[in-house]
Structure 1
Amino acid sequence: MNKLPDLEAWAIFAAVAEQRSFSGGAAALGLSKATVSKAIARLEARLGQSLFHRTSRRLSLTEAAGPLAERARAMVAEAEAAEEAARDGATSPAGRIRVAAPMGFGVASVAPVLAGFLDAHPMVEIDLHLSDARTDIVAGGFDLALRIGEPPDSSLRVRRLCAVDFHIVASPLYLTRHGRPAHAAELARHRLLAYSNIPGPWRMRGSGGEEVVVPPVGPLLANSGDALLPALMAGLGIAQLPSFIVGPHLASGVLEAILPDWTPPPTALHLLTPPGTLRPARVEALIAWLAKHLRDSGAPFS
């Protein structure tokens, strides 16, 4: 009969892999470094292979250990979720939640919503990572991520939260210097500032159903919409950006929406979580909170 899996060793391996340190993993788990070292040695002996490259200065995963670390994190998450489900809500949600979100949207819309959640759930801690890069939420050990645009084709669990409006905008200075396009096809003759998180050419549909595709050729390409704002306000081009970035500037008149009869393809905000059927109660509570408050919050999307 095969021995049962060494679940303790797998959990310790997950912590060391996340911290990239034996001492860091020990501190995260409240264990001694000796206990952690023995557990890793025990697991390596069972698997018949090394899990880490060890030098005097750094610790890194072996090639074979990368996928194993993801499975180990999934095991720990499933075990935590099972324990919380067994308690059946007898206690308030507690513990840390790691969240990834785009930079501009995170500052404008996510952070205010999280403040209310933390006030309502004082035993929960949130570790919020803001980046416009496409974060690997499984490898990064995130409990959930918010993304704008098409969800990835993967094993991740995806939930659509709400639509995100995009506007074609320019400054009055640019329009005075270069003229106001009357048709989407005229954008090909203008300087365009490109938001690389929405890759490919600009696609627009007119009110009569006509479709126009324009490659965004211009002086600036950035993976952050906020990084385009200085050049946009300085009159250096036209941009296609979400309302949570340009909304305040449209309201103040610093920027103007142009080509109102032409709309980009529908874009949505999605919530992504790692694969698996069980999630800790604290994560379920945050998902429900984000789904309600981001869906009901009209300002960032209108």
Structure 2
Amino acid sequence: MYQDLNLADVRAFTVIAEKGSFTLAADKLGCSRSHLSKQLTQLERYLGVTLITRTTRAQRLTEQGQFFYERCQHALDVMEQAVAKTVDDAHNLQGKININCVGGYIGEEIVNQLVNDFMSLHPNIQIHLDFSSQRVDLVLDEFDLVFRMGELEDSSLVARKLMDIANCTLASPSYIARRGRPEHPKELKSHACITGSIYHWNYHRRADKTEKTEVTIAGAFLCKNGRVMKSSAIAGNGIVRLPEIYCSSELNNGELVHVFDDWTISDTPLYLLYSKDQFQPARLRRFIEFTMENFMNYVDLPNI
């Protein structure tokens, strides 16, 4: 019945609806505004409905236009994925992978080494590794993969857990000798503390996780950089709260020691996230496989 429907007109309509502007849509499609207007008119005449109400100053989708846009956008996305899947041969590992990752030790040491080794194995793959700290949207920010710490909220993504990161409270032996070792987290209020972005330190007893306490920290030194916080603690300037893997060598050689024996901080999960996609390019599939198989080989845990 609709074999004469012009898919180019449908594509033009979806871009106009997406951009909310004929000018922006014309820029994206590389054509003139008048050509787009002609395509939209042809499509509306074919369907016998008005899809976009427009004046010289504004435009909006009609109810029928909104319905048509949502269905057509999904259909066009599926078509584009099918074409990409066909073109991207499963054995032809090439193209770009855009990755967002937490910075600090995890990004600079673990993920950096993992990426370098992967690129050595697959020289036709290019990787853009981004360490921006804000939480990104994989679709809007055009990332393929994200390494993210903490509990997840977006259930529309595929989440592969890489590890649970142990958090700990540390100080240098010189600080402990000078100021003493607190026995309860509440005693941290009378100590010099080194803080980053977290001012509420939550603890539970090792033997009974239901016994919890929270301490609001007013630190003597503030810096949102894990390496700097660690360096300050080594210098004896205060007590610091950091992921244990940030301090493996310092714990092994005694430059830092654990402050509490009976109290601990909950672990922080680390995930590899990506969008659900049945037509996932081969380069992404292989990188995900490589990460899941090898990630822990790059993690240096304390030998204590």
Tell me the secondary structure at the aligned position of residue 246 of structure 1.
helix
Contact 1:194–1:221 at 8 Å: present in 2 too? yes
Contact 2:91–2:282 at 8 Å: present in 1 too? no
Distance in 2 (CA, whole Å) between partners of 1:249 and 1:236 is: 15
Instruction: Name the structure 1 match of 2:269.
Output: 268
Distance in 2 (CA, whole Å) between partners of 1:44 and 1:272 is: 42
Distance in 2 (CA, whole Å) between partners of 1:85 and 1:299 is: 38
Instruction: Name the structure 1 match of 2:151.
Output: 150
Please state how far the C-alpha of 1:78 moved relative to its aligned partner: 5.9
Give percent identity, aligned residues only: 28
Distance in 1 (CA, whole Å) between partners of 2:226 and 2:97 is: 27
Code of the residue aligned with 1:102 in structure 2: it is V
Distance in 2 (CA, whole Å) between partners of 1:101 and 1:299 is: 18
Instruction: Name the structure 2 match of 1:286.
Output: 287
Tell me the secondary structure at the aligned position of residue 194 of structure 2.
strand
The within-5 A match list for 1:110-189 is 110-153=111-154, 155-189=156-190
Aligned CA distance change for structure 1 residues 87 and 153 (closer, same or farther; 3 Å): closer
Code of the residue aligned with 1:4 in structure 2: it is L
Please state how far the C-alpha of 1:8 moved relative to its aligned partner: 7.2
Please state how far the C-alpha of 1:38 moved relative to its aligned partner: 4.5
Tell me the secondary structure at the aligned position of residue 299 of structure 1.
coil
Contact 1:163–1:301 at 8 Å: present in 2 too? no
Distance in 1 (CA, whole Å) between partners of 2:148 and 2:235 is: 29
Contact 2:138–2:145 at 8 Å: present in 1 too? yes
Distance in 1 (CA, whole Å) between partners of 2:250 and 2:12 is: 53
Question: C-alpha deviations, 1:168-222, integer Å up to 9, x for none?
Answer: 11122322322111233322322222332xx462222223213222122213444
TM-score normalized by the length of structure 2: 0.71
Instruction: Name the structure 2 match of 1:53.
Output: none
User: More displaced, 85-94 or 245-254?
Assistant: 85-94
Structure 1 residue ranges, 4+ long, deviating more than 4 angstroms after superposition: 5-13, 37-41, 43-50, 73-81, 87-90
Asked if residue 96 in structure 1 is aligned to residue 96 in structure 2, the reply is yes
Contact 1:12–1:40 at 8 Å: present in 2 too? no
Instruction: Name the structure 1 match of 2:200.
Output: 201
Please state how far the C-alpha of 1:6 moved relative to its aligned partner: 5.9
Instruction: Name the structure 1 match of 2:46.
Output: none
Contact 1:92–1:123 at 8 Å: present in 2 too? no
Question: C-alpha deviations, 1:4-61, integer Å up to 9, x for none?
Answer: 3668769999xx9xxxxx9xxxxxxxxxx997355997399748699xxxxxxxxxxx
Code of the residue aligned with 2:7 in structure 1: it is L
Instruction: Name the structure 1 match of 2:7.
Output: 4
Code of the residue aligned with 1:97 in structure 2: it is I
Instruction: Name the structure 2 match of 1:42.
Output: 36
Contact 2:98–2:144 at 8 Å: present in 1 too? yes
User: More displaced, 218-227 or 79-88?
Assistant: 79-88
Q: How many residues align?
A: 269
Please state how far the C-alpha of 1:117 moved relative to its aligned partner: 0.9
Tell me the secondary structure at the aligned position of residue 141 of structure 1.
coil
TM-score normalized by the length of structure 1: 0.71
User: RMSD between aligned alpha carbons?
Assistant: 4.2
Distance in 1 (CA, whole Å) between partners of 2:155 and 2:183 is: 41
Please state how far the C-alpha of 1:80 moved relative to its aligned partner: 6.3
Aligned CA distance change for structure 1 residues 149 and 228 (closer, same or farther; 3 Å): same
Please state how far the C-alpha of 1:134 moved relative to its aligned partner: 2.2
